[in-house]
């Protein structure tokens, strides 16, 4: 018997109702670009997990702050997960070019500030994109940063250390339990796997350290933690908005 599969809430990840007049009247000078991935997240989370998380963060930020929300980049650099069926990657050079092209298109339309809302830790090239944007005519930032995640984890009461909670663990499972519980399949309660000695991950890939694809403690996840994680990240974003657009005013939830 086949397992019933939930419908992917794809429309919920897109700014479906925004019109060109909305953008014109909104006068936002900061755009948000969610960047996810299409890669394995163990047997209980979907391949789109990183994209769902990036979109959830961006959506919550856009509900509070005056920003222009873009649709997500859904495939990125997931080469370390290639051993599992379903994972799809593009090269770092391609991701770099896509982000740069989007930034340039926004600049020509009058939006000169771009925040990359990254949901996948393997997108190392995004740091270079932001670094090299200095003097390009577009100001960029990468969000959430490590300090933002640390703040969010503390506020949410996440129990697994950040290094141990690498993939499909307490944080990712919590956010999906809150934002899209219908996407979380049974089994996360018994799928904990820790592998803190991962010094050759870049060379060997994830399969050398986990059979299931999980590294972390998803059994500790809860919807309440997911809600608090997102709330804390929204609060952290205010500093980025002040940096990129000092005249912008925070909205009210």
- With b meaning 16 or more CB within 10 Å and e meaning fewer, what string describes 91-107? ebeebbebbbebbeebb
SS3 content of the chain, % helix, strand, coil (to 5): 45, 10, 45
Cis, bond preceding 248 (omega within 30 deg of 0): no
Residue 154 lies in domain: 27-244
- The answer to whether 137 and 144 are in contact (CB under 8 A) is no
Nearest to 72 by CA among 47, 43, 52, 92: 52
CA-based torsion, 31, 69, 91, 206: positive or negative: positive
Q: Quick count: other Cβ atoms within 10 Å of Cβ 10?
A: 12
* Residue 30 dihedral angles phi and psi, to the nearest 5°: -130, 130
In this structure, what is the dihedral angle of CA atoms 102, 232, 244, 73, given to the nearest 10 degrees? 0
Tens digits of residue pLDDT in 114-148? 999 999 999 999 999 999 999 888 999 999 999 99
For residue 3, pLDDT beyond 70: no
Question: What's the confidence (pLDDT) of residue 240?
Answer: 97
**Prediction pTM value:** 0.93
What confidence category does residue 253 fall into, taking pLDDT thresholds of 50, 70 and 90?
very low
Nearest to 71 by CA among 13, 140, 22, 141: 13
Is residue 251 domain-resident? no
Tens digits of residue pLDDT in 64-115? 999 999 999 999 999 999 999 999 999 999 999 999 999 999 999 999 999 9
Mean pLDDT of the chain, nearest integer: 93
**Average pLDDT for residues 198-208, to the nearest whole number?**
97
Tens digits of residue pLDDT in 11-28? 566 777 888 898 888 889
For residue 232, pLDDT beyond 60: yes
Residues with Cβ within 8 Å of 246's Cβ and at least 6 positions away in sequence, in order, are none
What confidence category does residue 150 fall into, taking pLDDT thresholds of 50, 70 and 90?
very high
Q: Quick count: other Cβ atoms within 10 Å of Cβ 168?
A: 27
Is residue 78 domain-resident? yes
What residues pair up with 32 in beta bridges, in sequence order?
69, 115
**Average pLDDT for residues 225-248, to the nearest whole number?**
94
Of 140 and 250, which is predicted with more confidence?
140
**Average pLDDT for residues 220-235, to the nearest whole number?**
99
For the purposes of burial, counting CB atoms within 10 Å of the CB of 198, is it exposed (0-12), middle (13-18) or buried (19 or more)? middle
Is residue 174 domain-resident? yes
Is residue 183 domain-resident? yes
CATH number at residue 158: 3.40.50.10310
Is residue 197 domain-resident? yes
Expressed in angstroms, the distance from the first to the final Cα of the chain is 45
Strands 113-118 and 68-69: unpaired
Question: What's the confidence (pLDDT) of residue 9?
Answer: 55
Share of the chain above pLDDT 70, in %: 92
> Looking at the 3D structure of the chain, how many domains does it have?
1
For residue 10, pLDDT beyond 70: no
Is residue 250 domain-resident? no
Is residue 8 domain-resident? no
Is residue 95 domain-resident? yes
């Amino acid at each position: 018997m086949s397992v019933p599969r939930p419908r992917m809430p794809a429309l919920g990840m897109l700014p479906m109702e925004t019109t060109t007049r909305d953008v014109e009247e909104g006068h936002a000078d900061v755009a948000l670009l969610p960047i996810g991935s299409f890669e394995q997240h163990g047997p209980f989370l979907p391949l789109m997990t990183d994209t769902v998380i990036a979109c959830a963060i961006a959506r919550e930020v856009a509900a509070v702050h005056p920003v222009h929300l873009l649709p997500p980049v859904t495939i990125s650099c997931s080469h370390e997960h290639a051993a599992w069926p379903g994972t799809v990657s593009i090269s770092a050079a391609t991701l770099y070019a896509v982000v740069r092209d989007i930034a340039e298109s926004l600049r020509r339309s009058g939006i000169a500030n771009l925040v990359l809302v990254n949901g996948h830790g393997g997108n190392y090239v995004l740091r270079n994109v932001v670094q090299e944007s200095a003097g390009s005519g577009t100001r960029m930032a990468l969000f959430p940063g490590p300090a933002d995640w640390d703040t969010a984890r503390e506020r949410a009461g996440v129990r697994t250390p950040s290094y141990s909670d690498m993939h499909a663990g307490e944080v990712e499972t919590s956010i999906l339990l809150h934002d899209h519980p219908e996407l979380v399949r049974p089994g996360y309660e018994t799928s904990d796997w820790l592998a803190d000695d991962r010094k050759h991950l870049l060379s060997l890939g994830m399969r050398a350290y986990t059979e299931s694809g999980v590294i972390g403690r998803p059994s500790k996840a809860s919807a309440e933690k997911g809600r608090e994680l997102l709330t804390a990240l929204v609060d952290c974003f205010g500093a980025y908005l002040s940096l990129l657009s000092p005249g912008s005013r925070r909205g009210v939830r």
